[in-house]
A and B are shown apart, each in its own frame.
Chain A
Amino acid sequence: MKISEIISALNLKVISGDKGLKNEVTGGYVSDLLSDVMGNAREGNVWVTLQTHQNVVAVSALKDLAAIIIVKGLAPDNDTIEKSNIENIPVLSTELDTFNITGRLFELLNKK
């Protein structure tokens, strides 16, 4: 499944990193601890987090993640947006909290 399909299915807002919308998704990872994501997320995962600073993009780029979903309508920092456009990693936004967006994402990715 592509990021663009997830965006329309889950009604996500694209904040930045538009060039990465065709990224292929392999699964998801949910954490607000950067070392946890660094150690355990897999290539092509969508990362659900409440962190909004630019280090989330740095971690995503190093791990070749497909996209970042920021929860509860939190606004990413300006340098997060800039960096995501450079790295082509989409930063997406939802009004839902982590529990609810993750439940929907899980259901969507496991629906066959």
Chain B
Amino acid sequence: MQIRHKIAGGDFTRAGNVASAVKKILQQLNIDHKQSKRIVIALYEGEVNVVAHAYSGVVDVDIDSEKVRITISDKGPGIKDIEQAMEEGFSTATPQVREMGFGAGMGLSNMKRNSDFMEIRSVPGEGTLVELINYIRPDAS
């Protein structure tokens, strides 16, 4: 099963809509509750990152019998130093975004903690691609 959603950069009123749509699908498919919750957390954080930092993004969700694979690709400023971006507390969010309670530098580490596999590729000035995999059959990992 493949689902594609678009994300508009800067539109905080819709942040979480993709995660919400995917959550409903995971529930319909009866995916393990604990793993579903992890997927929703990781996807939400990825979605918010696109809203907070990029101009536009696309989320692709690919569900098969073994795993849920999510790729989030955006057009945006990219990440210069991925290792630094992964550090808990590091953030480049604007003061306005932080006042809303976003941009605490916890997003990427939340994504890492709530996925079985995560890879980030980024070209500064062009954009970022994040791949997340969560195995939904315990013996498949």
A27-42 CB mask vs B (1 if < 8 Å, else 0) is: 0000011111011000
Distance in angstroms between the alpha carbons of A55 and B11 in the assembled complex: 11
Q: How far is the CB of A27 from chain B (nearest CB, A)?
A: 16
Binary contact readout B32-48 vs A (1 if CB under 8 angstroms, 0 otherwise): 00000100110011001
Interface hits, B63-113 → A, CB 8 Å: 100-102, 104, 106-107, 110, 113
Q: Please state if A39 and B113 are interface contacts (CB–CB under 8 Å).
A: yes
Which of B13, B113, B114 has most A Cβ within 10 Å? B13
Q: Is the CB of B12 within 8 A of A55?
A: yes
Knowing A58-B15, A79-B13, the reply to whether A33 touches B113 (Cβ < 8 A) is no
- Decide: A38 near B15, CB < 8 A? Known: A33-B106, A51-B100, A62-B23: no
Q: List chain A residues, Cβ under 8 A from B107.
A: 35
B19 within 8 A of A: yes
Chain A contact residues, majority secondary structure: helix
Q: Are B45 and A35 in contact (CB under 8 A)?
A: yes
**Residues A61 and B20 in contact, CB atoms below 8 Å apart:** yes
Find out whether the CB atom of A39 lies under 8 angstroms from the CB atom of B110.
Answer: yes
- B23, B37, B100, B114: which contacts A55 (Cβ < 8 A)? B100
Is there a chain B Cβ closer than 8 Å to A4's Cβ?
no
Q: Mark B1-32, 1 if CB is under 8 A from A, else 0.
A: 00000000000110111011001000000000
With A58-B20, A61-B20 known as contacts, the answer to whether A38 contacts B100 (CB < 8 A) is no
Instruction: Please give the distance in Å from B109's CB to the nearest CB on chain A.
Output: 8
Is the CB–CB distance between B16 and A35 below 8 Å?
no
Q: Are A36 and B106 in contact (CB under 8 A)?
A: yes
What are 14 A-B contacts with C-beta separation under 8 Å?
A33-B106, A36-B104, A36-B106, A38-B44, A39-B106, A51-B101, A55-B100, A56-B101, A58-B16, A59-B44, A61-B20, A62-B16, A62-B20, A79-B13
Interface residues of A (CB under 8 A from B): 32-36, 38-39, 43, 49, 51, 53-56, 58-59, 61-63, 79
Residues of B within 8 A of A (CB): 12-13, 15-17, 19-20, 23, 37, 40-41, 44-45, 48, 100-102, 104, 106-107, 110, 113-114
**14 additional A-B residue pairs with CB within 8 Å, beyond A54-B13, A61-B16:** A33-B101, A33-B106, A34-B102, A34-B104, A35-B110, A38-B41, A38-B45, A38-B110, A39-B41, A53-B12, A55-B12, A55-B102, A59-B44, A63-B37
